[in-house]
Chains A and B, each alone.
Chain A
């Protein structure tokens, strides 16, 4: 009698029969790659507005169907400005009241509408966020920023050198990146609002792979000034970096846990490649096992703290993988490299190789739906995305 009741109660919750719009109860991602999309129907939108809505929804794990079969109905119009509302097709309740958008380009209005919808579902919005990336042309590369869908590209550097590995300062219009413009690779800070730029780490040798802590106070990076390729961390206003690893093998591509307590990075034991994490105060590094996926690199920790995305290297190919943040079974999702999490902790941007060049691509981890970001004119290859948080 007892067990039957418990099972029945849980089945009610699982099917959402209590009229709650959110399927996800505790975690954003539960079954990476194996979660069905949330079905929506669009009605009344046309042209570019419709394209934007479809793109924004697809890369956040929504699928498109007719009004009968959909779970949510997004309806409205875009004659001039966009107006829209969202109905829950199960309960017939409005989950987003009719709303008119004004005062900006139509694309931006469409982005805002999708944001309002996903916020109504309890998610963090991503459609008005920005990304930074490395863009290559003729063996030079520069740093660019753009909208998350690839529109409104703006150059950050124009140095005719090699600039790479951008990383946002959380909550600020500022970036760290590495550049060879002084000769050896050095780490620079650039304030995008003022244009101010300064060299942050420029020791003799190589300074690369900057990663800013979630509270913006410290930068982790790879330096070789002491003779080995090691992980260091330094306060943004300090000049005294702390050496965190002391290993003749190379460490690379640090990233921070969202609570700031850990730096995760790609490491080697002998010639065996792993992910590790270490406290920014120092101490012993711990391995983060990625069962089933050898040669992990370029990790990125999800903003909700639950997952680490990384690149797996196979004999002939690379793959985007996720593993629970404490380590365990890793799941490969699509071909690609160098993932960066969106603020919603489910969408990733990564680089997809095509011949000798890269394209930026968006992936929804739970559904495995993915789509290329706009092609960029004048930039032959785009890689190393960093999503602003």
Chain B
């Protein structure tokens, strides 16, 4: 008997407390609105930016030595070197060695490995050259996911080149995500397979003045 009465009181208290938290204040009066967007003007982009890559803010990035024999799994990857700003770009020479990837994968397939070997051989024969590996994706992925996947594709081939004996600092990477299709006319597998790729850009130091 007592228990039922107590339960009743508890239930009523619970319901009332839930109801009470719903009370709202009443807004009052006329509200003049300020001029829209008076402070929201967007000026043109600021002064020209430093062209040397340097990390965060202006901290310079120092070069790192090569570690051809170290297992990347133990070191967390082989750090990138300082890069080759201002070097001349050649997209033709190694174009036949463009490496292609399966959908949503950054694995360098066995069928593609001979091309990586050919690129390594070229770099060994031309020790004054450097290389940029540019990773790309087809359109069937979301934008930032594809940017990361393209990056992983570039790094995967870079690791193979380092394992083949190329100095780590000679190989730069860049991802385009899906923003740089080789074939942007088609929307089928024939087109997509041509976009899932690493391009090789040969870099030559600028002639001394």
| Residues from 190 to 209 in A contacting B, C-beta threshold 8 Å | 190, 192-206, 208-209
The chain B residue with its CB closest to the CB of A152 is B37
The chain A residue with its CB closest to the CB of B28 is A97
Q: Is the CB of A103 within 8 A of B34?
A: yes
Chain B residues whose C-beta falls within 8 Å of the C-beta of A251 in the assembled complex: 148
Select which of A12, A185, A209 is within 8 A of B15 by beta carbon: A12
Chain A residues whose C-beta falls within 8 Å of the C-beta of B18 in the assembled complex: 13, 18, 25
Select which of A97, A108, A158, A162 is within 8 A of B33 by beta carbon: A108
Q: Does A229 contact B (CB under 8 A)?
A: yes
| Residues from 136 to 162 in A contacting B, C-beta threshold 8 Å | 139, 141, 145, 152, 154-159, 162
Chain B residues whose C-beta falls within 8 Å of the C-beta of A5 in the assembled complex: 7-8, 11
- Which stretch, B52-60, B92-100, B119-127, touches the partner chain A? B52-60
Q: Is the CB of A206 within 8 A of B151?
A: yes
Q: Does B110 contact A (CB under 8 A)?
A: no
- Which stretch, A61-69, A220-228, A279-287, A366-374, touches the partner chain B? A220-228
Q: Does A173 contact B (CB under 8 A)?
A: yes
A295 to B105, CA, bound (A): 13
Chain B residues whose C-beta falls within 8 Å of the C-beta of A228 in the assembled complex: 72, 76-77, 155
A243 to B40, CA, bound (A): 35
| Residues from 92 to 132 in B contacting A, C-beta threshold 8 Å | 104-106
Q: Is the CB of A204 within 8 A of B28?
A: no
Chain A residues whose C-beta falls within 8 Å of the C-beta of B82 in the assembled complex: 204
Scoring B24, B143, B152 by chain A CB atoms within 10 A of each residue's CB, the highest score goes to B143
Query: Chain A interface: which size bin?
Result: 35 or more
Interface bits A10-37 vs B (CB < 8 Å: 1, else 0): 1011000010111001000000000000
Q: Is the CB of B179 within 8 A of A162?
A: yes
A210 to B172, CA, bound (A): 22
Q: Is the CB of B46 within 8 A of A109?
A: no
Interface bits B9-44 vs A (CB < 8 Å: 1, else 0): 001101100110011101111111111110111111
Chain B residues whose C-beta falls within 8 Å of the C-beta of A157 in the assembled complex: 45
Chain A residues whose C-beta falls within 8 Å of the C-beta of B41 in the assembled complex: 154
Select which of B49, B79, B158, B187 is within 8 A of A226 by beta carbon: B79
Interface bits B127-162 vs A (CB < 8 Å: 1, else 0): 000000000000111111101110110010011000
The chain A residue with its CB closest to the CB of B45 is A197
Q: Does A72 contact B (CB under 8 A)?
A: no
Known A12-B15, A227-B72; judge A104-B56 contact (CB<8 A): no
Q: Does B90 contact A (CB under 8 A)?
A: no
A8 to B147, CA, bound (A): 55
Chain B residues whose C-beta falls within 8 Å of the C-beta of A99 in the assembled complex: 27, 29-31
Known A20-B22, A209-B147; judge A234-B56 contact (CB<8 A): yes
A86 to B85, CA, bound (A): 63
Min distance, Cβ B39 to any Cβ of chain A, angstroms? 6
Q: State the majority secondary structure of interface residues on B.
A: loop
Known A145-B42, A195-B46, A203-B55; judge A109-B143 contact (CB<8 A): no
Chain A residues whose C-beta falls within 8 Å of the C-beta of B148 in the assembled complex: 208-209, 222, 229, 250-253, 266
Min distance, Cβ B153 to any Cβ of chain A, angstroms? 9
Q: Count B-side interface residues using an 8 Å CB cutoff.
A: 82
Q: Is the CB of B142 within 8 A of A2?
A: no
A168 to B136, CA, bound (A): 27
Q: Is the CB of A6 within 8 A of B172?
A: no
Q: Is the CB of A196 within 8 A of B46?
A: yes
A248 to B19, CA, bound (A): 54
Chain A residues whose C-beta falls within 8 Å of the C-beta of B140 in the assembled complex: 313
Q: Does A301 contact B (CB under 8 A)?
A: no
Q: Is the CB of B42 within 8 A of A201?
A: no
Known A1-B4, A100-B30, A204-B82; judge A227-B45 contact (CB<8 A): no
Known A185-B174, A192-B42, A201-B56; judge A18-B22 contact (CB<8 A): yes
Chain B residues whose C-beta falls within 8 Å of the C-beta of A103 in the assembled complex: 32-35
Q: Does A56 contact B (CB under 8 A)?
A: no
Q: Does A364 contact B (CB under 8 A)?
A: no
Chain B residues whose C-beta falls within 8 Å of the C-beta of A9 in the assembled complex: 11-12, 14-15
Chain A residues whose C-beta falls within 8 Å of the C-beta of B23 in the assembled complex: 20
The 12 listed contacts between A and B (C-beta, < 8 Å) are: A18-B15, A18-B19, A145-B42, A184-B172, A198-B57, A204-B61, A205-B151, A209-B144, A222-B147, A225-B61, A241-B56, A318-B142
Knowing that A105-B36, A311-B142 touch, tell me 13 more A-B residue pairs with CB under 8 angstroms.
A99-B27, A103-B32, A104-B35, A120-B24, A152-B36, A154-B42, A162-B179, A182-B49, A184-B172, A192-B42, A198-B57, A271-B105, A295-B104
A interface residues with partner B (beta carbon < 8 Å): 1-2, 5-6, 9-10, 12-13, 18, 20-22, 25, 94-97, 99-105, 108-109, 112, 116, 119-120, 122, 134, 139, 141, 145, 152, 154-159, 162, 164-165, 173, 178, 181-186, 190, 192-206, 208-209, 222, 224-230, 234, 238-241, 243, 246, 248-253, 266, 271, 295, 297-298, 311, 313, 318, 337-338, 356, 383-384
